[in-house]
């Protein structure tokens, strides 16, 4: 077992993965409020936009406007902003918009990749290599995210060997990080451990990040399993919002405040302000017009701070 980190990084994906599947499309100024609040709560890395076909993902149609507004507000001085891309066209758009990082996604399932990007895995890999070359020339960090790493809504089980081969390709292309995404939330702690150990052996020099969805209430357990095996970077969204427009039932990400609570109780530093995360999740709940799934948002931390003790108290008859 790899040594566990005494601090973890929580990468906020509320404004991208969190919002992309919502029925309510937040206007650009509301997205900037969300991103600003996430930064106030401690987020240092955020995925804020998706440079994809706006007809396919209408919630991300204002990607350039979001980046322009962030620059106008001077927020890049406070955090690093990533843009998600699926091909070279998206890469060009993201660079022109002034992102700090690129997140290039390839699905480990052929059917899902065709549904999500309109291309085969082989075609997407060719686009990735071109984008990675551009990233090296532009000296911009690039993450390769391998999606549907634990299962596909169309094909079922996904072979771990396919995930590992895609990760090796990313490492060979010089990415600065490899993210493993449980896009539809079917992973379990044992599978997470097995894949993490296999990846450590296959791509030992590249940092790993995990992206868990809580579709089946295994997100926190999976994050714990990855941490136990040396992973120190995790995606999460405030209030647990999120999902994939191309996979029915792929509900939200692990809630940022839930990860903060769990790791903080374990004595692992997160750099996050739990109370501020909860306040932002409640603001987001109001902005979206529906209840969010996060239990920690409702229940709060423990022990409760003096400021929030009353709201978290239970009345015992």
Of the candidates 163, 207, 205, the one whose C-alpha atom is nearest the C-alpha of residue 9 is: 207
Q: How many residues does the chain have?
A: 317
Catalytic residue among 125, 152, 244, 314: 244
Of the candidates 192, 68, 211, the one whose C-alpha atom is nearest the C-alpha of residue 144 is: 211
3-state secondary structure of 148: coil
Assess contact for 138 and 94: CB atoms under 8 A: no
The answer for 250, left when phi > 0, alpha when psi is -120 to 50, beta otherwise, is beta
Q: What is the DSSP string of 163-216?
A: HHHHHHHHHHTT-SEEEEEETTS---HHHHHHHHHHHHHHSTTS-EEEEEB-TT
Look at the alpha carbons of 19, 15, 152, 261 in this order and tell me if their dihedral is positive or negative: negative
CB atoms within 10 A of CB 174: 12
3-state secondary structure of 16: helix
Judge whether 152 counts as a catalytic residue: no
Residues identified as active-site? 244
């Amino acid at each position: 077992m790899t040594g566990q980190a005494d601090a973890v990084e929580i990468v906020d994906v509320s404004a991208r993965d969190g919002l992309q599947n919502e029925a309510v499309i937040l206007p650009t100024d509301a997205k900037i409020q969300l991103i600003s609040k996430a930064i106030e709560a401690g987020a240092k890395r955020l995925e804020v936009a998706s440079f994809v076909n706006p007809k396919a993902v209408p919630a991300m149609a204002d990607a350039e406007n979001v980046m322009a507004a962030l620059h106008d507000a001077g927020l890049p001085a406070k955090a690093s902003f990533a843009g998600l891309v699926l091909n070279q066209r998206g890469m060009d758009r993201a660079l022109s918009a002034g992102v700090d990082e690129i997140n290039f996604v390839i699905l480990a399932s052929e059917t899902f990749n065709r549904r999500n990007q309109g291309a085969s895995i082989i075609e997407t890999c060719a686009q990735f290599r071109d984008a990675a070359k551009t990233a090296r020339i532009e000296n911009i960090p690039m993450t390769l995210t391998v999606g549907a790493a634990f299962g596909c809504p169309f094909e079922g089980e996904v072979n771990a060997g396919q995930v590992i081969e895609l990760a090796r390709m990313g490492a060979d292309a010089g990415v600065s990080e490899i993210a493993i995404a449980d896009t539809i939330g079917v992973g379990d702690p044992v599978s997470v451990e097995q894949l993490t150990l296999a990846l450590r052996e296959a791509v030992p020099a590249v940092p790993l990040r995990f992206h868990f969805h809580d579709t089946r209430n295994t997100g926190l357990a999976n994050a714990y399993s990855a941490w136990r095996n040396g992973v120190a970077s995790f995606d999460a969204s405030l209030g647990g919002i999120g999902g994939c427009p191309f996979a029915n039932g792929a509900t939200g990400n692990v809630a940022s405040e839930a990860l903060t609570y769990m790791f903080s109780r374990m004595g692992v530093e997160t750099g996050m302000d739990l109370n501020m995360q909860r306040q932002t999740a409640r603001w987001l709940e109001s902005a979206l017009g529906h209840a969010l799934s996060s239990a920690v948002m409702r229940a709060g931390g423990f022990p409760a701070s003096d400021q929030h003790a009353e709201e978290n108290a239970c009345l015992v008859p």
